[in-house]
Amino acid sequence: MLHFRSLQVLETEPALGQQPYTAQTPKAFQVNVVLVSDHGMAWTGQGKVRELDVVPCLEESQVEKVVEYGGYINVQPRAGHAMEVMESLRRCPTVGENVNVFLKKDVPEPLHYKAHRLILEIVVIAKEGYMIRPPQTAYSVPESAGSYEGNHGLDNTNGRNPDMRAVLYAVGPYFAPGVRAGVVEQVDVYNLLCRSVQLQCHANNGTLAHVEAFFRPGVPLQSNAISRGGIPLAALMAIVSALLLL
- Per-residue pLDDT tens over the stretch 131-176: 898 888 777 776 655 556 777 888 888 888 888 888 898 988 899 9
For the segment(s) 50-161, the CATH number from 3.30.413.10, 3.30.1360.180, 3.40.50.720, 3.40.190.10 is 3.30.1360.180
One-letter amino acid at 97 equals: E
Query: What pLDDT, on a 0 to 100 scale, did the predictor assign at position 42?
Result: 82
- pLDDT tens track for 76-120: 999 999 999 999 999 999 999 999 999 999 999 989 899 999 999
Domain edges within the chain: 4-38+166-245, 50-161
Read off the pLDDT of each residue in 184-208 and give the average, rounded to a whole number: 91
Q: Give the helix, strand, coil percentages of the chain, each rounded to 5.
A: 35, 15, 50
Q: Please report the pLDDT score of residue 228 as a whole number.
A: 36
For residue 215, list its beta bridge partners: 175
Number of C-beta neighbours around residue 174 at 10 A: 23
| Confidence (pLDDT) at 136 | 81
